[in-house]
Structure 1
Amino acid sequence: MAERPTRERLRAAHGRTIPDVIGPDLRVLFCGINPGLYSGATGLHFARPGNRFWPALHRGGFTPRLLDPTEQWELLDYGLGITNLVGRATARADELTDAELRAGGEALVRNVTRHRPRWLAVVGVTAYRTAFGRPRARIGRQEEQVGGAGLWVLPNPSGLNAHYSVITLAEEFRALRTAV
Structure 2
Amino acid sequence: MSSEVWFTVLVAAVGLERLAELVVSKRNATWSLERGGVETGQGHYPVMVVLHTGLLAGMLVEVWLLRPDVLPLLGVTMLALAVASQVLRWWCITTLGRRWNTRVIVVPGLAPVTGGPYRWFSHPNYVAVVVEGVALPLVHSAWITALVFTVANAALLTVRIRCENTALASLPRAEGVSA
Query: Which range, TM-score by smaller chain?
Result: under 0.3
- Structure number having the greater strand percentage: 1
Structure-1-length-normalised TM-score: 0.26
Structure-2-length-normalised TM-score: 0.26
- Structure number having the greater helix percentage: 2
Q: Tell which has more relative contact order, 1 or 2 (C-alpha 8 A, sep 6+).
A: 2
